[in-house]
Amino acid sequence: MRRPLGVLFDFGDTVLHLDSLDTLAGNRRLLEFAEVNPGISAEDVQSVVDEFRWIYTARDESMIEHGCQSFQRLLYDTLGVSFRIGYTELEREFWNASVKYSPVTGIYELLDMLEARGIITGIISNTIFCSSVLKEELAKHNLENRFSFLITSADYGVRKPHPHIFRIAVKKMNLETADIWFIGDKPDFDIKGAIDYGLYPVWYNWRNEKILPEGDYLEVKTLQELLEKIELL
Protein backbone atom coordinates (compact mmCIF):
# COMPACT_ATOMS: atom_id res chain seq x y z
CA MET A 1 0.00 0.00 0.00
CA ARG A 2 1.35 3.42 -0.94
CA ARG A 3 0.00 6.90 -0.55
CA PRO A 4 -2.40 7.81 -3.36
CA LEU A 5 -1.91 10.65 -5.82
CA GLY A 6 -5.60 10.47 -6.72
CA VAL A 7 -8.73 9.22 -4.96
CA LEU A 8 -11.94 8.28 -6.74
CA PHE A 9 -15.19 8.07 -4.81
CA ASP A 10 -18.48 6.33 -5.33
CA PHE A 11 -21.34 8.84 -4.88
CA GLY A 12 -24.27 7.26 -3.06
CA ASP A 13 -23.57 6.22 0.55
CA THR A 14 -19.89 7.10 0.14
CA VAL A 15 -19.97 10.89 -0.37
CA LEU A 16 -23.66 11.50 0.30
CA HIS A 17 -25.91 9.11 2.21
CA LEU A 18 -29.31 8.30 0.73
CA ASP A 19 -31.75 9.07 3.54
CA SER A 20 -34.95 8.38 1.62
CA LEU A 21 -36.31 7.53 -1.83
CA ASP A 22 -39.95 8.13 -2.75
CA THR A 23 -40.57 7.46 -6.44
CA LEU A 24 -44.30 7.98 -6.00
CA ALA A 25 -43.63 11.55 -4.86
CA GLY A 26 -41.32 12.02 -7.84
CA ASN A 27 -43.96 10.94 -10.35
CA ARG A 28 -46.61 12.97 -8.56
CA ARG A 29 -44.38 16.02 -9.05
CA LEU A 30 -43.91 15.29 -12.76
CA LEU A 31 -47.64 15.07 -13.34
CA GLU A 32 -47.89 18.69 -12.19
CA PHE A 33 -46.12 19.57 -15.46
CA ALA A 34 -48.41 17.47 -17.67
CA GLU A 35 -49.71 19.24 -20.76
CA VAL A 36 -51.87 16.25 -21.73
CA ASN A 37 -52.98 13.78 -19.06
CA PRO A 38 -55.76 11.27 -19.78
CA GLY A 39 -56.69 10.92 -16.10
CA ILE A 40 -53.42 9.27 -15.04
CA SER A 41 -52.48 9.36 -11.34
CA ALA A 42 -49.08 8.86 -9.72
CA GLU A 43 -50.30 5.47 -8.53
CA ASP A 44 -51.16 4.55 -12.14
CA VAL A 45 -47.66 5.58 -13.18
CA GLN A 46 -46.14 3.42 -10.45
CA SER A 47 -48.02 0.35 -11.61
CA VAL A 48 -46.53 0.72 -15.09
CA VAL A 49 -43.08 1.33 -13.60
CA ASP A 50 -43.39 -2.08 -11.98
CA GLU A 51 -43.92 -3.61 -15.44
CA PHE A 52 -40.56 -2.22 -16.53
CA ARG A 53 -38.53 -3.47 -13.56
CA TRP A 54 -36.78 -5.92 -15.88
CA ILE A 55 -34.92 -3.01 -17.46
CA TYR A 56 -33.09 -2.25 -14.24
CA THR A 57 -32.48 -5.90 -13.46
CA ALA A 58 -30.90 -6.32 -16.88
CA ARG A 59 -28.60 -3.31 -16.49
CA ASP A 60 -26.73 -4.88 -13.56
CA GLU A 61 -26.11 -8.03 -15.57
CA SER A 62 -25.18 -6.26 -18.81
CA MET A 63 -23.32 -3.28 -17.24
CA ILE A 64 -25.22 -1.09 -19.71
CA GLU A 65 -27.00 1.94 -18.24
CA HIS A 66 -30.53 3.02 -19.12
CA GLY A 67 -30.82 6.72 -18.32
CA CYS A 68 -33.64 8.48 -16.50
CA GLN A 69 -34.75 10.57 -19.47
CA SER A 70 -35.08 7.54 -21.75
CA PHE A 71 -37.01 5.69 -19.06
CA GLN A 72 -39.35 8.61 -18.42
CA ARG A 73 -40.01 8.96 -22.14
CA LEU A 74 -40.78 5.24 -22.39
CA LEU A 75 -42.99 5.37 -19.32
CA TYR A 76 -45.02 8.47 -20.04
CA ASP A 77 -45.42 7.93 -23.78
CA THR A 78 -46.80 4.49 -22.89
CA LEU A 79 -49.35 6.23 -20.67
CA GLY A 80 -50.20 8.94 -23.20
CA VAL A 81 -48.94 11.76 -20.96
CA SER A 82 -47.04 14.69 -22.47
CA PHE A 83 -45.37 17.63 -20.73
CA ARG A 84 -44.92 21.35 -21.16
CA ILE A 85 -41.26 21.12 -20.07
CA GLY A 86 -38.43 19.02 -21.49
CA TYR A 87 -37.11 15.73 -20.19
CA THR A 88 -33.94 17.34 -18.85
CA GLU A 89 -36.07 19.48 -16.55
CA LEU A 90 -38.29 16.50 -15.72
CA GLU A 91 -35.26 14.51 -14.62
CA ARG A 92 -34.23 17.31 -12.25
CA GLU A 93 -37.75 17.72 -10.87
CA PHE A 94 -38.06 13.98 -10.26
CA TRP A 95 -34.76 13.92 -8.36
CA ASN A 96 -35.63 16.89 -6.18
CA ALA A 97 -39.04 15.48 -5.31
CA SER A 98 -38.04 11.87 -4.71
CA VAL A 99 -34.63 11.72 -2.97
CA LYS A 100 -33.14 13.11 0.23
CA TYR A 101 -29.39 12.99 0.85
CA SER A 102 -27.08 14.05 3.66
CA PRO A 103 -23.26 14.17 3.80
CA VAL A 104 -21.55 10.99 4.95
CA THR A 105 -19.89 11.54 8.33
CA GLY A 106 -16.28 12.55 7.85
CA ILE A 107 -16.45 13.47 4.16
CA TYR A 108 -15.54 17.13 4.70
CA GLU A 109 -12.55 16.28 6.88
CA LEU A 110 -11.33 13.64 4.44
CA LEU A 111 -11.58 16.00 1.48
CA ASP A 112 -9.80 18.75 3.44
CA MET A 113 -6.90 16.40 4.10
CA LEU A 114 -6.70 15.21 0.49
CA GLU A 115 -6.80 18.77 -0.83
CA ALA A 116 -4.10 19.91 1.61
CA ARG A 117 -1.81 17.16 0.27
CA GLY A 118 -2.52 17.90 -3.37
CA ILE A 119 -4.34 14.60 -3.95
CA ILE A 120 -6.73 14.74 -6.92
CA THR A 121 -10.32 13.64 -6.32
CA GLY A 122 -13.18 12.57 -8.56
CA ILE A 123 -16.48 10.66 -8.49
CA ILE A 124 -17.77 7.68 -10.47
CA SER A 125 -21.44 6.92 -9.85
CA ASN A 126 -23.73 4.15 -11.06
CA THR A 127 -26.97 6.04 -11.52
CA ILE A 128 -29.72 6.65 -14.04
CA PHE A 129 -29.27 10.39 -13.49
CA CYS A 130 -26.94 12.66 -15.43
CA SER A 131 -23.93 14.33 -13.82
CA SER A 132 -25.52 17.80 -13.78
CA VAL A 133 -28.26 16.56 -11.44
CA LEU A 134 -25.73 15.02 -9.04
CA LYS A 135 -23.60 18.17 -9.16
CA GLU A 136 -26.62 20.20 -8.09
CA GLU A 137 -27.10 17.81 -5.17
CA LEU A 138 -23.44 18.24 -4.18
CA ALA A 139 -23.97 22.01 -4.25
CA LYS A 140 -26.75 21.70 -1.68
CA HIS A 141 -24.13 20.35 0.74
CA ASN A 142 -21.27 22.72 -0.19
CA LEU A 143 -19.43 19.94 -2.00
CA GLU A 144 -19.74 21.14 -5.60
CA ASN A 145 -16.12 22.37 -5.84
CA ARG A 146 -14.46 19.57 -3.88
CA PHE A 147 -14.04 17.15 -6.81
CA SER A 148 -12.16 17.60 -10.08
CA PHE A 149 -14.88 15.79 -12.01
CA LEU A 150 -18.01 13.68 -11.64
CA ILE A 151 -18.80 10.77 -13.97
CA THR A 152 -22.16 9.03 -14.05
CA SER A 153 -23.08 5.83 -15.84
CA ALA A 154 -26.08 7.65 -17.33
CA ASP A 155 -23.73 10.02 -19.18
CA TYR A 156 -21.63 7.22 -20.69
CA GLY A 157 -24.04 4.30 -20.99
CA VAL A 158 -21.91 1.81 -19.03
CA ARG A 159 -21.94 0.90 -15.35
CA LYS A 160 -19.36 -0.15 -12.81
CA PRO A 161 -17.69 -2.65 -12.80
CA HIS A 162 -17.29 -2.17 -16.59
CA PRO A 163 -13.67 -1.15 -17.24
CA HIS A 164 -14.54 1.65 -19.66
CA ILE A 165 -16.00 3.88 -16.98
CA PHE A 166 -12.85 3.47 -14.85
CA ARG A 167 -10.69 4.13 -17.91
CA ILE A 168 -12.38 7.49 -18.44
CA ALA A 169 -11.73 8.51 -14.84
CA VAL A 170 -8.06 7.51 -15.05
CA LYS A 171 -7.69 9.57 -18.24
CA LYS A 172 -9.20 12.58 -16.48
CA MET A 173 -6.79 12.20 -13.56
CA ASN A 174 -3.78 11.71 -15.86
CA LEU A 175 -2.20 9.35 -13.32
CA GLU A 176 -1.03 5.76 -13.29
CA THR A 177 -3.70 3.34 -12.10
CA ALA A 178 -1.46 2.15 -9.26
CA ASP A 179 -1.43 5.70 -7.87
CA ILE A 180 -5.23 5.95 -7.69
CA TRP A 181 -7.42 4.68 -4.86
CA PHE A 182 -11.10 3.96 -5.36
CA ILE A 183 -13.42 4.08 -2.36
CA GLY A 184 -16.90 2.61 -2.51
CA ASP A 185 -19.40 0.66 -0.44
CA LYS A 186 -20.56 -1.97 -2.94
CA PRO A 187 -18.29 -5.00 -3.38
CA ASP A 188 -19.81 -6.18 -6.68
CA PHE A 189 -19.55 -2.81 -8.44
CA ASP A 190 -16.94 -0.71 -6.66
CA ILE A 191 -14.39 -3.14 -5.27
CA LYS A 192 -14.51 -5.67 -8.11
CA GLY A 193 -14.33 -2.91 -10.71
CA ALA A 194 -11.39 -1.22 -9.03
CA ILE A 195 -9.47 -4.49 -8.64
CA ASP A 196 -10.10 -5.55 -12.24
CA TYR A 197 -8.88 -2.20 -13.59
CA GLY A 198 -5.79 -2.03 -11.39
CA LEU A 199 -6.85 0.71 -8.99
CA TYR A 200 -6.27 0.29 -5.27
CA PRO A 201 -9.70 -0.53 -3.79
CA VAL A 202 -10.99 0.78 -0.47
CA TRP A 203 -14.13 -0.94 0.78
CA TYR A 204 -16.15 1.49 2.86
CA ASN A 205 -18.02 -1.22 4.77
CA TRP A 206 -20.28 1.02 6.83
CA ARG A 207 -23.00 -1.66 6.79
CA ASN A 208 -20.59 -4.09 8.47
CA GLU A 209 -21.24 -6.76 5.84
CA LYS A 210 -19.76 -10.18 6.55
CA ILE A 211 -19.46 -11.53 2.99
CA LEU A 212 -16.03 -10.32 1.92
CA PRO A 213 -15.03 -9.35 -1.62
CA GLU A 214 -12.32 -11.36 -3.35
CA GLY A 215 -8.90 -9.81 -3.91
CA ASP A 216 -6.59 -7.33 -2.22
CA TYR A 217 -8.26 -4.25 -0.75
CA LEU A 218 -8.37 -1.99 2.28
CA GLU A 219 -11.48 -2.23 4.46
CA VAL A 220 -12.62 0.72 6.57
CA LYS A 221 -15.80 1.24 8.60
CA THR A 222 -15.62 5.06 8.72
CA LEU A 223 -14.13 7.81 6.58
CA GLN A 224 -12.18 8.98 9.62
CA GLU A 225 -10.45 5.60 9.64
CA LEU A 226 -9.51 6.08 6.00
CA LEU A 227 -8.22 9.59 6.69
CA GLU A 228 -5.95 8.28 9.43
CA LYS A 229 -4.57 5.49 7.24
CA ILE A 230 -3.67 7.89 4.44
CA GLU A 231 -2.03 10.28 6.90
CA LEU A 232 0.23 7.45 8.14
CA LEU A 233 1.60 6.76 4.65
pLDDT tens digits, 159-188: 999 999 999 999 999 999 999 999 999 999
CA torsion sign for 167, 148, 222, 225 is: positive
Residue-wise DSSP of 62-131: H-B---HHHHHHHHHHHHT-EESS-HHHHHHHHHHHHEEEEEPTTHHHHHHHHHHTT-EEEEEE--SS-H
Of the candidate CATH numbers 2.60.120.330, 3.30.230.10, 2.60.40.60, 3.40.50.1000, the domain formed by 6-18+102-232 belongs to 3.40.50.1000
Q: What is the pTM of this model?
A: 0.95
Domain ranges of the chain: 6-18+102-232, 20-99
Residues 196-230 pLDDT 10s: 999 999 999 999 998 888 889 999 999 999 999 99
In the chain, what percentage of residues exceed pLDDT 90? 91
